[in-house]
Structure 1
Amino acid sequence: MTATADAEAAANELMPLAEYLGSVLRRLRALPPLDLDLTQAHGNVLAADVLAPHPFPAFDQAAIDGYAARWEDLAGAGRLGAHPAFGQFDSGPTRSVRLNVVGDLGAASWRPVRLTAGTCFSVAAGAPLPIGADVVVPVHWTDQGMAAVEILHAPKRGSGVRRAGEELAVGQVLATAGSYVTPPMVATFAAAGIGHVLVRPSPRVVVVATGDELVDVGRPSQPGQVVDANSHALTAAAVEAGALAYRIGICDDDPEGLRGLLEDQTLRADLIITTGGTGTGPGDMLRRVLSRPGTGRGTVEFTDVALCPGTALGFGTVGGEEVPVVCLPGEPGAALIGFEVLARPAIQLLAGAEPVFRPSVKAHLLETVSSPGGLREFRPAHVAERRGGGYTVQPLAGGPYTLSGLAEANGLLVLGERVTTAAAGSTVDVLLLDRRR
């Protein structure tokens, strides 16, 4: 049997990624909702649809500074001459209409007032509209008179006016469950008279790196020592995903110390992410420790998944509270890809966000790439929009260089299990990353 055939046979023994993700995500539930003040709700996910309890605007109001009037009183202002045979034409000087200004209304005015024929009110933007008014004439269309005003041009009926409920009607859906609360949403809720909303809390995520070989950042790796890049990167990735993330740092490969540390963290975590020790080698202590059932302490199942890079992933619970734990590989590039395909969807699901996966697009591949058969590969890539529509995708460094490729990427090129070669010019799937470039 050839080396290629051996590799494909081994890959066939791995669990398909879609099947694995389904089995994991079915075990998770969104966190219980909280009723939060608007100022605290930003960045959280709505747990229920938000409906407008009041109209916006709440009353008829002036949309601009000017003069509130009845359109019938302005009907002749600024009109062109007309003749049955010649149509409209400029008949000379503009015709104006003179109205008496009977008062001034500002945004703080509250007493109801009424217009009579031949009168108007000077109004500021946001002022309540006088009863009977159906148009606001812009200031620059007048001589800006105070006791009386000359209207030089007649706007269309309804111009410069905002009617009650014109933007938001009572009972209108302002935002749906599963949506992240944004600053414009906060403004919309407040304008409609909403002071509190029901949201899912941001998941509390604890990140732990494991391995006797790990040393903290600030010095280069040397034989027998590896700088812990993963816990820093995964903490940042969890924050980007909307979590409240805490980096615990490095835990040595001590079985009791590892189990004790994780159980201690269950008191402040909704999800624990570990990195390192997911394989079956002599130094992979995490897999041996967490895969042992513990009385009332939960267990973690490790699965070899048809994923490239990093096939070994773990998922289960720890502690009496059975807090979910996601175990990712120790190689930094594989850890970050594992986060994208497993940990990030878990965080989104706990937060109640919909959808839980990143958006994807079809893109035109600019360069031929090869991929290991039997594995679903996620390769760093740069995505760009094409003139006239659509996208192009340029593959970046993958394989052993995935980490450096990810540093430049704004997308992940996805090559399915049956793909061994994707030719330049073919159409491929690309996940879009939340990165501003």
Structure 2
Amino acid sequence: MTATADAEAAANELTPLADYLGSVLRRLRALPPLDLDLTQAYGNVLAEDVVAPHSFPAFDQAAIDGYAARWEDITGAGRGGFASAGSSLDGRGRGVRINVVGDLGAASWRPVRLTPGTCFSVAAGAPLPIAADVVVPIDWTDQGMAAVEIFRTPKRGYGVRRAGEELPAGKVLARAGAYVSPALVAVFAATGIGHVVVRPSPRVVLVATGDELVDVGRGSQPGQVVDANSHALTAAAVEAGALAYRIGICDDDPEGLRGLLEDQTLRADLIITTGGTGTGPGDMVRRILSRRDGGRPGPVAFTDVALYPGTSLGFGTVGAEEVPVVCLPGEPGAALIGFEVLARPAIQLLAGADPVFRPSVRAHLLETVSSPAGLREFRPAHVAERRGGGYTVQPLPGGPYTLSGLAEANGLLVLGERVTTAAAGSTVDALLLDRRR
């Protein structure tokens, strides 16, 4: 057999990524709902639809500073020297002059009524006088206090916000699965909502494993590797919407690893480990967590997935609480790609988000690239919108293992298992890494 044929035969023994993700995500369930005060709800996902209990605005009000009046009292479209709607006088005619019978601010609460030929000076947000159907901007007047001369006539309804005009009572403000944004918090508050039912942010514990690991703040020496993974994955978990806890480095000690994972089940909704997922002599995580006990498989199954970089991934549960655990490779680039394709969707599913995957686009490839046969490759890239519509994708130098490429990327070029070469000008898939949830 040729080298290419050998590679294809080996790849055929791997589990397709889509099949693997489906089997993992089907085992996860969104966290139980939680009733939260509105001030704590930001960043969570709604567990049920939210309906407006009250309308917004709650009452007829002025939308601008000006003079609240009856439109028929100030209009004179083309007659008697009055300005037509929306136009200004040319100096040959005079504006209309009416009496100002009071001032209304946003804190005014007594109902008042306009009589013919009168108006109120109003601030934005003030209750609208009964019978008023227009607010004349201050700049269109002489800004009089006892009486005001109006030089321009706005259209009927200008400067007025009617009760329930924007959000009537009973309107569905947001559906279950929606992300609670600052603007949505404002909508809830404005319609009288003080609590919402959400899925809590998943608590995610990050553990790096390996005797060779040393903490940050020093350079790597022979036999030592600085632990970049637990720091990077903690940041990635936070970016995905989790409450992330970095435990740090765990040596390749079987009892120490088992004890650490058992301890963390009390504070975690998901545990992510990095390192030790292969089949080499130092890959202790796979050896410990997949070990058969009494003829039964271990709590975590390790699968060789058709993924590049990092084919070996682990998933299962640990502890009496059966807390899910995701095991990612130890190579930093492979760990970050593994997080994107497996751990991040798991976090999103636990949080109740829909969809759980990042958005993707079809993009015009700017450079010819090759890819391993039988593997779905995720390569750091720069995605840009084209003038006139569509997207372009530029692969970044160094391929998927380079941390510098991942740091610069705003997307991931995705090349399918059957793709060995993608020519410049072809259309490919690209995941958008927007660095936000």
Using structure 1 for the length normalisation, give the TM-score.
0.95
Instruction: Tell me how far 1:80 sits from its aligned partner.
Output: 8.8
What residue in structure 2 maps to residue 364 of structure 1? 364
* CA deviation after TM superposition for structure 1 residue 28, in Å: 0.3
| CA distance in 1 between partners of 2:22 and 2:240 (Å) | 20
Could you tell me which residue of structure 2 aligns to residue 254 of structure 1? 253
Q: CA deviation at 1:403?
A: 2.2
Q: Which amino acid aligns with 2:366?
A: L
- CA shift, 1:398, in A, is 4.6
Do residues 216 (structure 1) and 215 (structure 2) align? yes
CA contact (8 A) 1:62 1:123 kept: yes
> Equivalent residue for 2:302?
302
> 1:272·1:326 contact (CA, 8 Å) conserved in 2?
yes
Between 100-109 and 18-27, the greater mean CA deviation after superposition: 100-109
- Which moves more between the two structures, 302-311 or 115-124? 115-124
Q: What's 1:413 paired with? A: 413
In structure 2, the residue matched to 1:389 is 389
Name the SS of the counterpart of 2:393 in structure 1. strand
- The letter of the residue matching 1:14 is L
| Aligned mates of 1:91, 1:42 — CA distance in 2 | 53
* 1:298/1:350 CA distance change after superposition, 3 Å: farther
Secondary structure, counterpart of 1:424 in structure 2: coil
Give the aligned partner of residue 198 of structure 1.
Answer: 197
TM-superposition CA deviations, 1:90-136 (whole Å, max 9, x none): 88613422212111111111011111111111111111001111001
- Work out whether residues 80 and 89 of structure 1, in 8 Å CA contact, stay in contact via their aligned partners in 2: no
> Against the structure 1 CA distance between its residues 81 and 266, is the aligned structure 2 distance closer, same or farther, given a 3 Å change threshold?
same
Cα separation, partners in 2 of 1:298 and 1:58, compared to 1, 3 Å: farther
Please state how far the C-alpha of 1:79 moved relative to its aligned partner.
5.6
Q: Could you tell me which residue of structure 2 aligns to residue 333 of structure 1?
A: 333
2:152 match? 153
Distance 2:320 2:11 in 1: 36
Structure 1 counterpart of 2:52, which letter?
A
Structure 2 distance, partners of 1:195, 1:400, is 46
398-407 vs 114-123, greater mean Cα deviation: 398-407
| Partner of residue 279, structure 1 | 278
Q: How does 1:17-416 map to 2 (within 5 A)?
A: 17-76=17-76, 93-293=92-292, 299-399=299-399, 401-416=401-416
Q: Which amino acid letter does the alignment assign opposite residue 28 of structure 2? A: L
Distance 1:413 1:368 in 2: 12
Deviations 1:282-331 (A, max 9, x none): 11111111012569997000000000000000000000000000000011
Distance in structure 2 (CA, Å) of the matches to 1:39 and 1:298: 43
* Aligned counterparts of 1:8 and 1:89: Cα–Cα separation in 2: 78
Partner Cα distance (1:89, 1:250) in 2? 74
- Aligned to 2:232, the other structure's residue is in SS state helix
Stretches of 4+ moved more than 4 A in 1?
77-82, 88-92, 293-298
Deviation (angstroms), 1:77: 6.3
The Cα of 1:153 is off from its aligned counterpart by 1.6
Cα distance in structure 2, aligned partners of 1:89 and 1:287: 80
The offset of 1:399, in angstroms, is 4.5
Per the alignment, do residues 368 and 146 of structure 1 end up closer, same or farther by CA in structure 2, a change over 3 Å counting?
A: same
Task: Give the gaps of 5 or more residues in structure 1.
Answer: 83-87
Please give the secondary structure, in 1, of the residue aligned with 2:11. Answer: helix
Deviation at 1:400, TM superposition (A): 6.7
The 3-state SS of whatever aligns with 1:212 is coil
Structure-2 residue corresponding to 1:85: none
Q: How far did 1:387 drift?
A: 1.1
Tell me how far 1:434 sits from its aligned partner.
2.0
Give SS of 2:402's match: helix
Give the TM-score of the pair, scaled to structure 2: 0.95
Q: Which amino acid aligns with 1:287?
A: R
Aligned residue pairs, count: 431
Q: 1:96, 1:379 → 2: CA distance? A: 69
1:89 and 1:326, CA in 2 relative to 1: closer, same or farther beyond 3 A?
Answer: closer
Are the aligned partners of 1:76 and 1:96 in contact in 2 as well (CA < 8 Å)? no
CA distance in 1 between counterparts of 2:161 and 2:122 reads 13
Q: CA deviation at 1:178?
A: 1.3
Name the SS of the counterpart of 2:32 in structure 1.
coil
CA contact (8 A) 2:309 2:401 kept: no
- Cα distance per residue 1:134-187 (max 9 Å; x no partner): 001111211222222212221100001000011111111222211221111111
Alignment partner, residue 427 of structure 1 = 427
Shifted more, 306-315 versus 117-126: the winner is 117-126
User: Which amino acid is the alignment partner of residue 176 of structure 1?
Assistant: R
Distance in 2, matches of 1:421 and 1:58, equals 61
